[in-house]
């Protein structure tokens, strides 16, 4: 069943925490996510929801509560509002992963990306990174930055693919084993060079995920468009 990218809400926190505990040795507490969603106006969080079989451009389930803010477009983010998502039984898993970032002045700092173990290796982590990049463009950030374990060469390879470059090390950054963190930054994300690279990678990812049945195919009007300013 394909997935759609959607906004994280308070009703998602319990399922987000289940993925968090499967993904990190020192997971955030649930109240940290609630605080991020309710109080941090510079925080933007996403989830990957299962799509409805009858309406593949719609999530199967979305918690019934008002959204705190909207995002401004990008081919992954818009969702049709023609029908309300169906409620999910409490014992059914409805999402594959989640991600978030903070806007700090003009820097978009990726705070987390996590995918359920059974869905890894399908390109869904890359999908979340692309969606975060779209948000960074929409909120007029100038750069993207993140920290990654020095031993996590798989994640580093993905970030390098999207233009992140090593810029330093935070010694003993991770509290579980005192491992160093590699600091990575992109070039200016509104530059023509970054835009050309990003749009080509995004288009390729979209095609691959749709063909694999992992991403709901949207209308052609939602195909990637240039964001150059």
pLDDT digits (tens, 9 = 90+) for 55-70: 777 777 777 554 444 4
Contact 110, 201 (CB under 8 A): no
Q: Which of 17-21, 47-51, 64-68, 193-197 bottoms out in mean pLDDT, i.e. has the lowest? A: 64-68
- More reliable by pLDDT, 85 or 25: 25
Residue ranges covered by each domain of the chain: 3-220
- pLDDT value, residue 117: 94
Percent of the chain with pLDDT over 70: 82
3-220 adopts what CATH topology? Aminopeptidase (3.40.630)
Report the pLDDT averaged over residues 167-185: 94
**What pLDDT band is residue 91 in, cutting at 50, 70 and 90?**
low
* Catalytic (active site) residue 126: no
Cα distances (Å, whole numbers) of residue 74 to 79, 182, 191, 209:
11, 29, 17, 16
pLDDT tops 90 at residue 220 = no
Q: Is the pLDDT of residue 168 over 80?
A: yes
Q: What is the pLDDT, as a whole number, of residue 55?
A: 73
For 71-75, 105-109, 110-114, which range has the lowest pLDDT when averaged over its residues? 71-75
Digit-coded pLDDT (tens) for 207-217: 999 999 898 77
Per-residue model confidence (pLDDT) at position 229: 35
pLDDT tens digits along 116-143:
999 999 999 999 999 999 999 999 999 9
Report the mean per-residue pLDDT for the chain.
84
The more confident residue out of 167 and 229 is 167
159 is catalytic: yes
Higher-confidence residue: 81 or 64?
64
Q: Catalytic one among 45, 98, 159, 162?
A: 159
Among 15, 36, 134, 147, the active-site one is: 147
Which of 11-20, 32-41, 53-62 has the least mean pLDDT?
A: 53-62
Question: For residue 72, what pLDDT is reported?
Answer: 42
d(CA 45, CA 6): 9
Other CB atoms within 10 A of residue 78 CB = 18
SS3 state at 104: strand
- Per the DSSP assignment, residues forming a β-bridge with 112 are 100
- Give the other-Cβ count within 10 Å of 203's Cβ: 13
Query: Does the structure show a pLDDT above 50 at 82?
Result: no
């Amino acid at each position: 069943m394909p997935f759609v990218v959607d906004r994280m809400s308070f009703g998602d926190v319990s399922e987000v925490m289940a993925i968090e505990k499967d993904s990190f040795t020192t997971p955030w507490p649930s109240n940290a996510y609630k605080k991020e969603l309710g109080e941090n106006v510079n925080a933007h969080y996403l989830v990957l929801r299962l799509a409805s079989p009858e309406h593949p451009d719609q999530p199967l389930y979305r918690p019934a509560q008002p959204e705190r803010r909207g995002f401004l477009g990008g081919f992954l983010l818009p969702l049709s509002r023609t029908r309300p998502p169906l409620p999910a039984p409490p014992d059914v898993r409805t999402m594959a992963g989640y991600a978030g970032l903070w806007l700090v002045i003009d820097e978009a700092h990726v705070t987390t990306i996590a995918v359920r173990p059974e869905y890894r290796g399908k390109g869904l982590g890359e999908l979340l990174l692309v969606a975060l990049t779209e948000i960074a463009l929409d909120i007029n950030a100038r750069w993207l930055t993140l920290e990654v374990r020095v031993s996590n060469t798989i994640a580093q390879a993905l970030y390098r693919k999207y233009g992140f470059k090593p810029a330093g090390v935070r010694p003993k950054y991770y509290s579980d084993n005192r491992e160093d963190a590699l600091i990575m930054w992109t070039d200016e994300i509104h530059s023509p060079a970054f835009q050309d690279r990003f749009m080509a990678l995004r288009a390729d990812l979209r095609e691959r995920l749709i063909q694999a049945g992992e991403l709901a195919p949207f209308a052609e009007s939602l195909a990637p468009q240039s964001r150059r300013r």
